[in-house]
Amino acid sequence: MEQRLQKLISAAGLASRRQAEALLAAGRVTVNSRVATVGDKADPETDDIRLDGRPLAWPREHTYVMLHKPVGYVTTCRDEKGRPTVLELVSDLQARVFPVGRLDLNSQGLLLLTDDGETANCLLHPSHAVEKTYRLRVRGLAGHPEALERLRAPIRLEEGVTVQAVSVIPRGRDGLDITITQGRNRQVRRMCAAAGLTVLRLCRIQEGELHLGTLPLGKWRYLRPEELRFLQKLRAETCKKPG
């Protein structure tokens, strides 16, 4: 049966659907030797579908790992500027995985990697409003209580999108825990800038029911059973949605 190519690429564990669309737009996907485009469909039973010349294959069992990403690594599978990628930190993993979501070059913390594109899509989809908590050290907070008020209020970003934190909890003189559900590019840093704060350190410590805990910087581990159940619950909720 024919399906959209971004869904097939996601099911093959090569990317989330959003990332798959970028692969299609870049001309890296072919169907029966013809370069495919966003919106194209194919039948995995009868069509020869390839990414970068390699046939798509569907894993029998999926892999889910948590990485404590350090500063200085880009959250991509490869980087045209030659910068180190997060995949270099899981090179000893016997599975081909990709990062779910983003952490910018200068941020660290919890990053999920998997070969399960459908579950990745569920975790990222705005309809689930998965909460993500970031622990920050900032400059400009001491003596400026109005900064907290500004952070807790709706903030309009440059592109015209309004965002608002779920919670903003101060930690000492220069620490904050900020929880959001949206996923705009560099959102937490931009919110802080709008409140007159400079981010000195940013670490994602939680995403839904996934907790970074004491995982050492630069190390990875497999998800625990209770964490896998959280992802399964997201999948089940998606299946219940109409359409």
d(CA 24, CA 20): 6
d(CA 128, CA 142): 35
Which of 241, 214, 210 minimizes the C-alpha distance to 101? 210
**Choosing from 40, 79, 104, 177, which is the catalytic residue?**
104
Max Cα–Cα distance, the chain, nearest Å: 66
The tokens for 115 are 């070969």
48 is catalytic: no
Which active-site residues does the annotation give? 104
